[in-house]
Amino acid sequence: MMSMKKEASSLSELGFDVNFGAGFFRQVPSSVCDNGEGTQRQRRPTKVSVIGAGDVGMAIAQTILTQGLADEIALVDADAGRVRGEMLDLQHAAAFLPRVRIVAGTDVLALTRGSDLAIVTLPGARPVGHRGVELLRKNVAVLREVVPAVAEGSPESLLLVVSNPVDVLAYAAWKLSGFPASRVIGSGTNLDSSRLRRLLADHLGVGAQDVHAYMVGEHGGSAVALWSSISVGGMPVLSYLQKTHASFDGEALEGIRRAVVGGACEVIGLKGYASWAIGYSVASLARSLLRDQRRVHPVSVLAKGFIPGDDHQVFLSLPARLGRGGVLGVAAELELTADEESTLRRSAETLWEHCQALGI
Ligand SMILES: NC(=O)c1ccc[n+]([C@@H]2O[C@H](COP(=O)([O-])OP(=O)(O)OC[C@H]3O[C@@H](n4cnc5c(N)ncnc54)[C@H](O)[C@@H]3O)[C@@H](O)[C@H]2O)c1
C-alpha cells in the first residue's frame, strides 16, 4: 500500500507556540463578564460526537455543522486515515462555516469525553433468516466496544442510535450505557415519516413541513402509518382523499405505506448507500434535543406497556416530545385500527424476542 504523507493540520503541529496567538488582540475589560482576573465567563460549548464516520455519520456531521448546532464535533472511526481525511476536508471549509472545533481519531473515550450528544452510526445488519440472532450479536459486539466508553467519558450525554436494526440497537445501547431510558433514543421512523409527508405534500401541493403525519412502530417493513391523524392546516387528509378519489381504499393506503418503507432500499440500490435524508433527519433531532425545542418526533423510545395488555420492554417508534433532557414524554394515546394495533403488538413481540436473545 502507498504510504500517505501526513501534513500538519494546525500551526502548533508546525512548531508555532499556540500561546502567541492569544496576544493578537488586546484584552478589553468587560462590565458584564470580566471576573476581575482578566478571564471571561463563557457559555459552555456544545459538543456532539459521531461514532462511525461512514456515509451516514458524515452526512449527519456535516448537516449539524452547517446548521450551527454544535461548537465541537468529534468524529470517531476505526479507520484512522479515513476519519482524519474527513476531518481535514471539513476543516478546510472553515472560512464558509460557523466556527466549530472538529477533532477526529480512533479513541472513543478520549475523543467523545464531555459530549452533550453522542450519535452512533456504526455498521449494522438487519436480522435475516436463521442467521438473525447471530447477526444481531455481531452488531451488539460492535456497540460493546463504544457505548460503555461513551458512558464513562460523557455520563450526562444524550445517546442517539442510528445504526440498524435501530430499535434493537437502541435497546442494546440503553442496557450497555446504564443511562436512564429518557437519554437513549433511536432515530426510528423520523425519516420514514418525512418520506410519507413528502408524498402527501407533493400530492396536495403544500410544503412537507405543513403535513402532520407519523409513521410509528418498528423501523423497517412493518412500520405503521397513523392514517387517521394525518392533517394539513387543521384539516383531516384521509377523509378528503377518500372523498375525492374513487379508489382511495385500504389497498391504496398499503401501496403508499410500502413506498415509504421501501424508500431507503431504492436509494441504496441506486447510489450504493443512503445519506442526505438521514443526515437532515438526525440533525432535526439534534436541534430539538440540544436547543430544547420540545418538538414532537416519531423516534424509537422505551415503549413498555403502550399496547394494552403488552408488557414487553422494547424500543420502537412513537411520537415523542424531545428536549434538552432527552425524551420528555411519549404519546399516551394513538388512534389505531385493530390491524394497526396487532401489527404493533407483533413488532413488539419480535423485538422483545430479539432483545432477549442478546442476553444483555
Ligand atoms: N436509522 C436509519 O434510518 C438509517 C438510515 C441509513 C443508514 N442507517 C444505518 O447507519 C449505519 C451506518 O451506515 P453507513 O452507510 O454510514 O455505513 P458505513 O459502512 O459507510 O460506515 C460505518 C463506519 O463505521 C466504522 N466502524 C466500523 N466498526 C467500527 C468500530 N468498532 N469503531 C469505530 N468505527 C467503526 C467504519 O470504518 C465505517 O467508516 C448502518 O447501521 C446503517 O444501517 C440507518
pLDDT (tens digit, 9 = 90+) per residue, 296-351?
999 999 998 766 666 788 999 999 999 999 999 999 888 888 988 899 999 998 89
Show the ligand 1 pocket: residues with CB < 6 angstroms. Answer: 52-57, 76-79, 121-124, 142, 145-146, 162-164, 166, 187, 191, 219, 273-274, 278
Dihedral sign from CA coordinates of 174, 177, 181, 183: negative
- Cα(35) to centroid(ligand 1), Å: 45
Does pTM surpass 0.90? yes
245 is a catalytic site residue:
no
Q: For 19-46, what is the mean pLDDT?
A: 71
pLDDT above 90 (res 250): no
The predicted model gives 268-296 an average pLDDT of 97
Task: Check if the interface score ipTM surpasses 0.85.
Answer: yes
Phi, psi (deg, nearest 5) at residue 121? -125, 40
Residue 197 has a CB neighbour count (10 Å cut-off) of: 23
Mutate to test the pocket of ligand 1, among 79, 83, 111, 122 (most ligand atoms within 8 A of CB): 122
Predicted pLDDT at 103: 98
- The residue count for the chain: 360
Residue 193 Cα to ligand 1 midpoint, Å, equals 21
As beta bridge partners, residue 159 has 118, 184
Q: Residue 246 — pLDDT band, cuts 50, 70, 90?
A: confident
Binding-site positions for NAD(+) read 52-57, 77, 139, 162-164
